[in-house]
Structure 1
Amino acid sequence: MNGADDAEQELRYSRVRAAMAENGLDLLLAYGPGWRRENIRYLTDARVTGSAALVLVPAAGEPSAFSVRPADLGVIAQRGWVTDVVRLDFPASTVLVERLRDLAPSRIGVAHLELLPQAIADAIAAGAPGAEVVSATGLLDDARMVKSDWELAQMRRSAAVCAAGWQKFVDVLEPGLPEYRIVAEVEAELKRLGAEDNFMLIASGGDEVMGMTPPGPRLLEEGDMVRTELTPQMNGYWLQICRSAVVGRASDAQRRSFDLFNEAVEAGLSVVRPGITAHEVAVAENDVFRKYGYGEYCTARYTRVRGHGHGLHLDETPIIEGNHTVLPERAVFIVHPNTYTPIAGYHVLGDPVVVTATGYEVLIETERVLFETPQGVAA
């Protein structure tokens, strides 16, 4: 896959340094544990795989990158965005201590400070003993939220792969198929199309289904509704499709459930515009459930979020009541009111969108319907 160009690098670093200046930071330290590498990729355009990595961005001058995995050093250096690349000698982290002593910062922002190991926190204190250390997690979250033209192009590639993955999902459904075989078929198709990774949950059965999990050995039965969140990663960027399908013909209850969830999706989409908050989108979705007497199923007992941001991390800004994060133009997120109701059990439905100057653009072309397998459609 093609990496970002020099203009993209300049855009990202100018955006980050402007935010640093606004927050009075003379040094930004982006920490990336093994499960949260989005900031490392944003600042290096390199795919690292070590259990811990760091990018050090001074207010002026060249950035530095560190990783505990020697193989990451060559990957970062070859990409060329950061040429000062050093192995992190964790837990001692003496190389970081020395670099901080040379720079002598007075105010350091640490992205993912909340996840920082004590050993690295101690190294920061040793290298810059008089510095004020603050969280810069929100700073980089905000910088990454506004997607460039290049980033949106990657996400549109992910959207096409989402559609292909969902089509494979529907094509293989039949009675007697174990859940893990469905996921295996989808994973194979996504990898064939160039996906780096895929996050996927699944659930099959009737109105007793309360949520989704990794795939298990359960065998599909006629009349099952099979639900999934399917989230491929292309060139670093994740995008998700949420759909449900029926093995055979859908029941009246399953159709009523779809109608409820589709109305909630439409309500959420209808309020999307630059400057809307995550809270307002969630309220619009939840109000549909409340209108029909299903408000209790919008609570934490039955559901987690009503959608979430997408980008270099698969589950960014949560679309949830109480989160007043502003969604600016060029933000990308999915509207999905996924939850349990007693109508037909847990239902999954949602579309990813990019916020445009006048509203939104749905990024996937997959029809928003309750899919039925061919034997159900023909019946």
Structure 2
Amino acid sequence: MTATGNPRAERLRAIMVEEGLDAVVLSHPHDVRYATGYHSILERWGQMEAMAAAIVYADPAKPLTLVIPEANLGLVAVLNRDGDACTFGEIRTFDMLNFCEVSRYIDPDRPVTQLGRDAGELMPAIAGSCQPDVTAAIAAALADHGMAGKAIGFDEHRVSARIAPAVPHDYRDILDLMMRARVVKTAEELTRYRQVGLLADRIIAYAGSLLHEGADWNDVQARICDFMVRHAVIPVDEGAMLFGGAYEADEFIPDLFRTRGNRTLRRGDIVILETQGIHDGFWVDINRTAMIGPPSDAYRRQHDILRDAFLKMVDHLRPGVSTASLPQIGYDYLKAHGVATPEKLLVVAHGIGLMPLEIPLPYPAAGLAGVKQGFIMEENMLISLDSLYFGAKLGPCHMENVYAITAKGPEPMYAAPLELIEAPATRELTDA
């Protein structure tokens, strides 16, 4: 349960030293999880204010500090039941509503459980007294570790403003710094994402198996959601997939971001399967194209050209190469092979991990800069290469894969074939 052997915190500390920071205070759920491994169901509530925090000091002699509601000590024990998933040097606690007050009362009719004993073993790690709220707990930790007047980075400026009267400091915004830290993965993170890849392959295969002439699109999405949940993947939302659906009774539009399906699938429909969800904190993001019934020779050829263009771009996923160079490679290949309107090819190469889009550029990175400016790929980045052709003559073709950037070449995280999924004209829906 100690902070030793936490390569994410060590990477962050090295960047802090380069930037002249004495400490960083992390209160965004992604950043807290990155630095410590801590996460809870509370973060899924989507509250505007932090439900936990982490403090990383540039001085390695100072402890990695985890700030949590006192009542969640048991959760830390659960996270660490099979190993040190949650690492810290000390714990600072605060009250959340009156949960913590209630939990302090001893129930004489309830025997001490193993969870209670494991949570009790965390007591020596608790420093200071329980504070009335998260910012008071952060301020107490910073003061105790001599951070008054120091350069402190925050991923949430309100936390800085709140603690300033108690702990005056030189405020720094670290949103961009955290993205730079998180976009390059540790060996442990890459190992975890390989497991995500295995699940992504199963999900996309199952999604393809549900397609047939007469299938109800909403039912297909609901079944994919159920499959994901049963395999420990949290769907992006109740629809499970980013693309697809019907706009009007006679119009199925695979290009639209999430439209309700109000008719059954028909022979000749193109279905874009982009299943998105979260497993072990990391995003699944895999994209394949399916056709209901046999495709025309022309469409099959178009899809094969797009696949080959995709592989040409994959060849350039290497350290030192800019992601900005990839769209031109895809465009040139489509144009050289006679694909109509090659300008309709949308190529985005982005980092992926705790968020579906991790782009190490100054905020805001999700505008044109994310593609036009791009960023230089580094070893151990996870890059999702997203190739979306919105051509109108024969219809769209889309595909997306995630790759680990290595000195020897890109390592695919997904093994699902890039070939067109050809759904039979008729088939009964089955559960897996």
Structure 2 equivalent of residue 202 of structure 1 = 243
Structure 1 counterpart of 2:352, which letter?
H
Q: Which residue of 2 aligns with 1:355?
A: 405
Matched, 1:104 2:148: yes
Q: Is the CA contact 1:247–1:376 (under 8 Å) kept in the aligned structure 2?
A: no
* Identical-residue share of aligned pairs (%): 23
Change (3 A) 1:254 1:20: same
Alignment check: 8 A CA contact 1:329 1:357 kept: yes
Matched, 1:81 2:87: yes
- Residue type of the partner of 2:35? L
One-letter code of the match for 1:81?
T
Conservation of the 8 A alpha-carbon contact between 1:309 and 1:333 = yes
Greater shift in the superposed pair: 200-209 or 47-56: 200-209
3-state DSSP class of the match of 1:227? Answer: strand
The gaps in structure 2 that reach 5 residues or longer are: 81-85, 97-131, 360-365, 428-432
Contact 2:349 2:371 (8 Å CA) reproduced: no
Residues 123 and 219 of structure 1: is their aligned pair in 2 closer, same or farther, counting only changes over 3 Å?
same
Contact (CA 8 Å) 1:207, 1:342: kept in 2 or not? no
Query: Equivalent residue for 2:193?
Result: 155
**1:132 match:** 170
* Contact 1:147 1:332 (8 Å CA) reproduced: yes
Matched to 1:202, the amino acid is: F
Cα distance, 1:368 vs structure 2:
0.8
State how many pairs are aligned. Answer: 357
Change (3 A) 1:374 1:177: closer
Secondary structure of residue in 2 paired with 1:368: coil
Cα pair 2:196 2:279 within 8 Å, conserved: yes
Report the equivalent of 1:39: 31
- Which amino acid letter does the alignment assign opposite residue 12 of structure 1? R
1:202 is paired with a residue of what secondary structure? coil
**Cα offset for 1:286?**
3.9
Counterpart amino acid of residue 164 in structure 2: A
Q: Is the 8 A contact 1:57 1:64 kept in 2?
A: yes
Query: Which residue does the alignment assign to 2:380?
Result: 330
Do the aligned residues in 1 keep the contact of 2:160 with 2:171 (CA within 8 Å)? no
**Per-residue deviation, 1:170:** 1.2
For the residues of structure 1 that align with 2:19 and 2:348, how far apart are their CA atoms? 31
Structure 1 Cα separation of the partners of residues 30 and 244 of structure 2 = 28
Structure 1 residue runs of 5 or longer lacking an equivalent are: none
What amino acid does structure 1 have at the position aligned with 2:11? R
Question: Aligned partner of 1:29: which letter?
Answer: V
| Cα distance per residue 1:213-259 (max 9 Å; x no partner) | 16544421121111121134322222321101111111345324413
- CA-CA distance at 1:165 after TM superposition: 0.7
Give yes or no for contact 2:3–2:64 (8 Å, CA) kept in 1: no
Alignment RMSD, CA only? 3.1
Contact 1:64 1:85 in 2 (8 A): yes
Match of 1:203, SS state, is coil
In the TM superposition, 1:85-234 aligns within 5 A as: 85-87=92-94, 93-102=135-144, 103-111=147-155, 113=156, 116=157, 118=158, 120-129=159-168, 131-198=169-236, 200-204=241-245, 209-213=254-258, 216-234=261-279
- Return the offset for 1:375: 3.8
Larger Rg over CA atoms? 2
* CA distance in structure 1 between the aligned counterparts of 2:316 and 2:287, rounded to whole angstroms: 20
Task: Output the CA distance in 2 between the equivalents of 1:226 and 1:144.
Answer: 33
Change (3 A) 1:88 1:135: farther
* Residue in structure 2 matched with residue 13 of structure 1 by the alignment: 9
Work out whether 1:64 is the aligned partner of 2:49: no
Question: 1:282-327: per-residue Cα shift (whole Å, max 9, x none)?
Answer: 33334445655635425xxxx5x61321222222127943233221
C-alpha distance in structure 1 between counterparts of 2:414 and 2:341, whole Å: 28
Name the CA distance, whole Å, in 2 between partners of 1:375 and 1:38. Answer: 44
Q: Does 1:23 align with 2:70?
A: no
The answer on whether the counterparts of 2:213 and 2:425 sit within 8 Å (CA) in structure 1 is no
Structure 2 length-normalised TM: 0.73
Q: Secondary structure at the match of 1:306?
A: strand
TM-score, normalised to structure 1's length? 0.82
Deviations 1:91-110 (A, max 9, x none): 89333344444431521122
- Partner Cα distance (1:124, 1:339) in 2: 50
